[in-house]
Chains A and B, each alone.
Chain A
């Protein structure tokens, strides 16, 4: 299995190359090759693993040199962050990196002798994560090449540091591979910190003052999670003399008191990474970064790391205080952030809130920790990764052409930028409409929360899905509205590589929708069997048949209807305006007898349910819940 060190190290090599090569053309070409190799590598890993019979594989028991290298890298990371903290006068943030790193270094050098463990662990879940990171991540890199070209074309005030940007992108991918493949908690901690720091640097890419403020917010929140992770690992190592993640989960399931506290601490860390309340603000602030980094942070990598850890811990959390509280926070986040999303008209902000909201649902699924909820969570994760990545890239490309990402300005986008609008349509439909997988996953999560008697979750999902549909549907409505109000001609300046990436995403989306029952049977069911030790069929057979019918219907009907509406004979008229039309649908005659442009706007209710009004109270509430959880867990275990 030489492919594993290759997958982890190759992106780092690429990062160095990106940093060293300054001519844009050459670097772009190498970035393409690198992205393709990474994608191929993740497929190769899956292939090898399938050839081996899809069994869990444990590797690398003796890793002294690698341990030392990772320790050195961790210390370098600490120095870089501390330097930046002092440079931008955020002195206190540096404590959050110095303390955990010192703890890890102490553990590595002078800590107790730990049991011999495998450092790499491959199973269904980690292969799935590798595929998401490899495929979506690589596509984002391909897209970024074209996007960043246009970005610096328009934003001439921002220093062109594309070499740095691509360095970070590849670093990020390497960190993610390392993270999802590692079994040793010490390694996990390192890759965790690396993703935190990369996201911090990516958010601060433009070096504008708002970018710097937001990047430090992201940094301290993620480092706080990292500190919790480090404490949890330290505690577990000193009590159990073992640094294996699977061992931790097994011990916790067996009711070992010493394992409960680390699980709670790691789950807490995962909450920060998955941007759950009260830590949601960093992800919203991350929107100032160029679009590819938002896409990368939101869909493929960063936030999914938190979810991945929670899935790993899910069997241990099932039915415990930790699990219930995590599920509660997830459900609460799902509802509140979907309400806040209604009040946003900035396309990227809506995507940010919806990401947090969907992550909330995944976190809730993990917290409940039953096979059905994990099933739902895994599908939510897959569909969310693809459709969010698609949407982010599309909004970015639209912004380049339209010079705005406000949803109100997308009125009639389908007639101005048909290609981009269609992709956007597919992406949004994937987020909530039947028969796309998100909805089926919601079905399953809903059923499971009823089964486990979790009343409050039932309410969160019932109300949350109503508000979710609301903000997506009104966005779609804007796209299809007929008369567009922009006078100047808009040119679609989307680069070919951006279109390639978007097309692959859209195809994946539709394919997954069709293949989803198959995927459930051959992949996700075994994943659950591996996780819970017993196999279970989540999706009943009758539902499967129904799904096939719905899929056929939903795709066939519009096609036929479209054909029909093209051939019909009709008489075109102006829309009804109380008889004060001016001769075109864009304007009406006002009471002074002059033509007035007609503006149509969606509802946003920002005074009622805006971020300013809801964010702080819900953060306070979530903090209170977290404190109660920690007290109960520590008090209960002690």
Chain B
């Protein structure tokens, strides 16, 4: 019963929370750039408008791929908040990401294809860190099950600082923030135009946007999982940590320029190896001893 409640909660609340977070994001970014910025509810207005626009497509199949993307992402988040296997969640997430890649590739548009190719490189860059974070949880708690990890009474961040750093690092990629927004540049008139999303318009762009919200809420949940240990006070830790991480991402976004993909791949893998790797080594040694 509890599980169903949580799944429904995620499905209903995630877009609202995700949209609000993005609104706040825009506001803070604007403040950092000494602008007034749009109202906090602006993302919702945008999506509403997108849904009402005339549907213009380059290829019919794009809608098909994007709906799959949305549905699979919802499944990922629902599985996570229902407390299932975290490794499986990420496997389904990578299938969802593949659907997004198809949505861009299917148009055969030069900019979208370029963005899609870069998206693939991004996936390759972040996947090791994601998988290793799951291993981190497994080593700390002896299980991949989200429910058991969350309710174990152990504060995971103490055991997993390196994994946490690696995960926050790849969050920049996943949240499409500069310097790693190489697949979908924030701004028009850059070398990529809008990359992956170049050919998405109207309802399709709205679907993409909502899916990003679902994704962000899922990812923030994973950030929170590092802090939650079943007690009420830990929920507060988790929320504070999530807000801090989100702020950090905004700060990084506004203070850095886009990187070349080669550098992104190299840096991400090196950071993963050093932070998650060292942490893993220590945990394994402790476990053996």
Contact = CB atoms under 8 A, between A and B. Distances in A.
The answer to whether A binds B is yes
Interface in B105-120: 105-113, 116-117, 120
A301 interface: no
Given A565-B63, A570-B57, A585 B124 contact: no
A550 B88 contact: yes
Contacts of B87: 443, 446-447
Contacts of A546: 79, 84-85, 88
A486 interface: no
Interface string A385-414: 000000000000000000000000001100
A573 B56 contact: yes
Interface stretch (A24-32, A197-205, A495-503, A555-563): A555-563
B57 A603 contact: no
A550 B113 contact: no
Interface stretch (A97-105, A245-253, A467-475): A467-475
Interface string B239-258: 00000000000000000000
Given A542-B85, A543-B88, 20 more contacts: A434-B95, A459-B277, A462-B131, A465-B127, A469-B98, A470-B121, A470-B124, A481-B107, A482-B59, A542-B84, A549-B79, A553-B71, A554-B95, A561-B63, A565-B63, A566-B60, A568-B63, A575-B109, A575-B110, A576-B112
Contacts, number: 182
Interface stretch (B40-48, B228-236, B280-288): B280-288
A623 interface: no
Chain B interface residue bracket vs A? 35 or more
Nearest to B113: A600
Contacts of A474: 117, 120
Contacts of A535: none
A463 B138 contact: no
A232 B199 CA distance: 62
Contacts of A603: 117, 120-121
A549 to B, nearest CB: 8
Contact of B72 (A461, A554, A571, A572): A554
B263 to A, nearest CB: 13
Interface string A437-478: 001000100110010010100110111011101100110111
Contacts of B284: 453, 455
B61 A572 contact: no
Contacts of B88: 434, 443, 543, 546, 550
12 contacts: A434-B91, A469-B127, A476-B102, A542-B84, A546-B84, A553-B75, A554-B72, A558-B68, A569-B55, A572-B58, A575-B108, A576-B193
A598 interface: yes
A557 B111 contact: no
A477 B87 CA distance: 25
B119 to A, nearest CB: 9
A433 interface: yes
B127 A462 contact: yes
Interface in B199-232: 199
A574 interface: yes
Q: Which of A412, A447, A565 has most B Cβ within 10 Å?
A: A565
A459 B281 CA distance: 11
A443 B94 CA distance: 14
A458 B135 contact: yes
B85 A412 contact: no
Contacts of B178: none
Nearest to A578: B193
A436 to B, nearest CB: 10
A575 B200 CA distance: 10
Nearest to A459: B277
A446 B108 contact: no
